[in-house]
Each structure stands twice: as structure tokens, then as C-alpha cells.
Amino acid sequence: MKTILVTGGMGFIGSNFIRYVLNLKQEYKIINVDKLTYAGNPENLRDIELEYSEKYSFYKADICDYKTLDKIIYKNKVDYIINFAAESHVDRSINNPTLFCETNVSGTLNLLNIAKKNNIIKYIQISTDEVYGSLDFQDLPFNESYPLFPNSPYSASKASADLLVRAYFKTYNLPINITRCSNNYGPYQFPEKLIPLMIYNALKDEKLPIYGEGRNVRDWIYVHDHCIAILKVLLDGRIGEIYNIGGDSEINNISIVKKLLQIIDKPESLISFVKDRPGHDLRYAIDHTKITDELNWKPLVKLEDGLKKTVEWYLENEEWLKNVITKNYLRYYEKQYKRR
């Protein structure tokens, strides 16, 4: 039985990955390490903890804590490390870039040193398409050879971490892969992100704040498709390679919000345009030819189907959403979104 250490496993993508892997009923043991910041929610895996008690363990720890992490990895004879742990919201990075550098850069460096010391079979760095910067509407999508031009403190910290991972492969022969994915959506997403925030506000008949004119384009991928891709990279990805993971679902923000309103059956009059974010990237688009050709992966969930599934999940899990909201996680956004 192989043991996978997942950092940030109480977060949105990390918890979905753990759920996906354990539900495969294959010979994997998962060690979940999470600091339990505002976005790390133990409720995301409560049922998994009960159902897979012999194959799943959780440790509350910070990836910047070398001594604790080293002890966890050595004790559990970890084979693989997948680093989902990150401060991940652009707005928050603008207000506190130091925190993002501490977690996303120093934390990654810590993990790399521990992986090297413990002879890990493979280290996977979960990155983002935002490290590539911004595209114009006529530009071709990002491929893995595209230069890094991050435009926010968040994306700069992720790009820095990617370069450290590459350096450890080149300098120390550490077996690594880096994955760069487009915008994820689906169950258990923290309601500061666009799609769950729009769903939450629409269900309460509150205004839906959209930056600028809503022209900014993102590529969207259903989180389960992303999880499938990560496992393929872990098992079969060529050592040292970067893999872009995209959803084939480019759409601007105003259009995706209108689609959500149609699904929830709420009026477009709820839309409220707010002052644009500083340095707001215009467009992201992913070319996933490499992972498709090499690992036979492609996104399976169409955007319209994924949005419907996501709305249904939030409607069926109102208690989860209520628990998140009552912890005042959205107080920050009530201050940030200033209506014109």
C-alpha cells in the first residue's frame, strides 16, 4: 500500500482529491496535513474520516513547520507528497502579500527539503494558470513553454514556488511534477470564490458583485476532472515535467453569473458591478494538449452540466454552507465589495 501525503487537504481541491482517491477503493493510504486556516474546513471530510479510518489520517500542522512535517513523513513512511496547501485568493494577496510569500514560497521550500531528505518517490506541486499572466482575447492559450509573467502577489508567490520545485529537480534530481490548472469549481468550494459566492448571494436575493464590466475571461474546470488529472500525473507523469490542466470552458465573468442565475431562477437585476480589482488579468486560457497526448486525459464535465451539479450540491448541503457562513468567513467581502 502506497502512502500519499496531501498538504492542504481540508481545502476545496485537496479534500475533493482525497475523496476521489479513497473512493477508488485501491491500495492508497492518505495522510492529510492542514493548518486549518479560514478555508480549511474539517466538515469537508467528516464522512471520509469515518468510512476510511484505516486508510486516512489527519494532522493539524503548518507546512512552514519543518520539524513537525519531517516527523509526520518519517513516521508514516510517506511515498508521495502532493502540495495543495496555499494561500490562494488574489484579493487577500493584495492586502497581505507577506502571508502569501510565507506559505506559498517558504512552505514549499520546506516541503522540498523534507522530500529530498526522506527520498520521496515523487513530489507534485499544484500550481495555477495565473503564473503565466494575462492573455489578450486574440492570443493563443497558455502551453507549458509559455513564460511566467505573474501580475498579482498571489500568482507571483505561486510562480516563485514553481521555480523552486524546478530548481530542486535540476540541482538535486528530486523527482517532481508541476501541474497548472485553470479555475476550479464544484462541491466544497469556499464561498469567497466567484461561483459559490454568486450562488450564496442569489439564494438570499442579495446583490451579486462583479468586478468592472464582467469582461474578464476564465477557463473553468469541474474539480473532479482536475482530481483525475492529478492522479494520472502522480502515477504516470514524466519526472521533471509540467502539465497544464484545462477545462475547455472559456467564458467571461458576466456570462457565467447569468448562467448561474438562470439555473437558480433568479433575476439578472441582482447583478451589481463594482470597482475593478487592481491589476485584474483580462483572460486565462489553457492548452492541455500535452497531458491529453501523454496521459490520455481530457475534461469530461461540460460547463453547463458542472454548474447545474454545483448548484444542486449547494442546495442539498445548506447545513455545510450555513456552518461556513456562521463562522463570519464572508465578513471580509462585505467590507471589500463597495457598490458604485
| 305 catalytically annotated | no
Find cell 487537504 and name the residue. 9
Catalytic residue, candidates 56, 80, 132, 154: 154
Angle at 284 between CA 279 and CA 286, to 5 degrees: 155
- Catalytic residue selected from 62, 129, 192, 281: 129
How, if at all, do strands 217-222 and 250-252 pair?
Answer: antiparallel
Length of the chain: 340
Helix/strand/coil (H, E, C) string of 132-201? HCCCCCCCCCECCCCCCCCCCHHHHHHHHHHHHHHHHHHHHCCCEEEEEECEEECCCCCCCCHHHHHHHH
| Rounded distance between C-alpha atoms, residue 9 and residue 36, angstroms | 9
Q: In whole angstroms, give the CA distance from residue 103 to residue 211.
A: 27
User: Which distant-in-sequence residues (6+ apart) come within 8 Å of 95 by Cβ?
Assistant: none
Active site residue 129: yes
Grid cell of 239 as nine digits? 519526472
281 flagged as catalytic: no
Pick the catalytic residue: 130, 162, 192, 250? 130
Q: What share of the chain is helix, strand, coil (3-state, %, to 5)?
A: 45, 20, 35
Annotated catalytic sites, by residue? Answer: 129-130, 154
